[in-house]
Structure formats: structure tokens, C-alpha cells
Amino acid sequence: METLCYKIKLKKGSLKQVRQWAEQMNIRAGEVFETLSLEGVYVESVFLEKSDNNYYLIYFVKAESLNDMREFSKNSTLPIEKFHKDFKRTTFESSAELESLIDFDRIKAKSSGLNLIVATMFTNE
């Protein structure tokens, strides 16, 4: 299992397009899950950050193989991939891979198939 996290600086004036992209990705969740399965991706999360009068996406991925994921994405002709590539081309100004300091997960693979265990706890104190 490999983990990746990027901080992506967005182009000025692209926030509306970013929100529209997120809305479409959620609406098209079936296509997204199908693509994630083909890519060998278990987790894909995107967060929005505002800092120093700029907007950034924090992009987090867990995959069986980051190289396989990148290769699939590069060669894919699926409509959802084209939509995502067009979005990146028109909204991303720059990106930097973030350094991983710790990486714990409870995603387990079994020989008879995948058993995904997600443990999340929210506390309101």
C-alpha cells in the first residue's frame, strides 16, 4: 500500500470551477468508484485550504501502486478521467508533493478478496 499527498495551488479566480468539479465528482460517484477500482486506489480525498489569499487543494491518495495508478490515469479514455484531466489543466497553477511523516491505516487485503476496515472517530468536546 502506497500513500501520496499533494498541495496544489489553484489559479486565481478558479474557486467556482473547483466547487463545480467537486459537485460533479460527487454526482458521478459511481464512475469515480469504478475508476478507483481500476486504478487500484483505496482512498482518494481532496480538501480545500485558504492561506495567504490563495486557495489550495490538499490531495490524499492510498493505492496498491502509485506507478500503476499514474499509468492507468495517463492512458485512460474514460469520460470521468477526461473530465478530471480538463479540470486539472484549467485550475492547477502548481503542485508540490508533501512529505509523509506517519502513515497508519487499517486497510487489509485477504487472499479471498478485499476486506476494507475503516475506523473513524469524531469527538465533540
52 within a domain of the structure (yes/no):
yes
CA triple 10-84-42, angle to 5 deg? 100
104 within a domain of the structure (yes/no):
yes
125 within a domain of the structure (yes/no):
no
Predicted confidence at residue 109, as pLDDT, reads: 53
63 within a domain of the structure (yes/no):
yes
Q: How many domains does the chain have?
A: 1
34 within a domain of the structure (yes/no):
yes
Give the list of residues 6+ apart from residue 79 with CB closer than 8 angstroms, or none.
31
Task: Report residue 121 as a C-alpha cell.
Answer: 472517530
In CATH, what number is assigned to the domain containing residue 33? 3.30.70.100
Whole domain around residue 105: which residue ranges?
2-116
Q: What is the pLDDT along the chain (125 residues), one digit of tens a residue?
A: 899 999 999 999 999 999 999 999 999 999 999 999 999 999 999 999 999 899 999 999 999 999 999 999 889 999 999 999 999 999 999 999 999 998 888 876 543 344 443 333 333 33
123 within a domain of the structure (yes/no):
no
